[in-house]
Amino acid sequence: MSTKNMLSKDEVLHLSKLANLTLSDAEIKKYGSQLAETIDYVKNLDELKTEKVAPTNSVVDLSNVSFEDGTENTRGLSQQEALSNGKTIVDNSFSLGRIM
């Protein structure tokens, strides 16, 4: 996994524009090499033998989780069941302490 090429200044600037970031010249140089190294690392995936692996878009075996109009949802929780383990309930909602 050796970094062959550093990303060009234009490539880094294009990526920073897509991410809405303003970069200094030092950051452009730094990220150019880091991004190239990341790309080289990801290219290692090309070495995997995936010919016999079926394409998938999810690792979870879910089927249709929606319900026909007018049918009752028997798999969901009622509001009372959902709130049953909450420490502090106010107006049928979980109540949390101040975060900031």
Query: Residue 4: which pLDDT band, with cuts at 50, 70 and 90?
Result: low
pLDDT of residue 66: 73
Q: How far is CA 81 from the centre of its chain?
A: 30
| Other beta carbons less than 10 A from residue 35's beta carbon | 16
With H, G, I as helix, E, B as strand and everything else as coil, classify residue 54.
Answer: coil
Statement: the pTM of the whole predicted model exceeds 0.75: no
CA distance 36 to 2: 9
- The architecture of the domain spanning 9-47 is Orthogonal Bundle (1.10)
H-run or E-run covering 34: helix 25-43
- Give me the residue spans of the domains in the chain: 9-47
pLDDT (tens digit, 9 = 90+) per residue, 40-96?
999 988 898 988 888 877 777 777 667 778 877 777 788 889 999 888 999 989 998
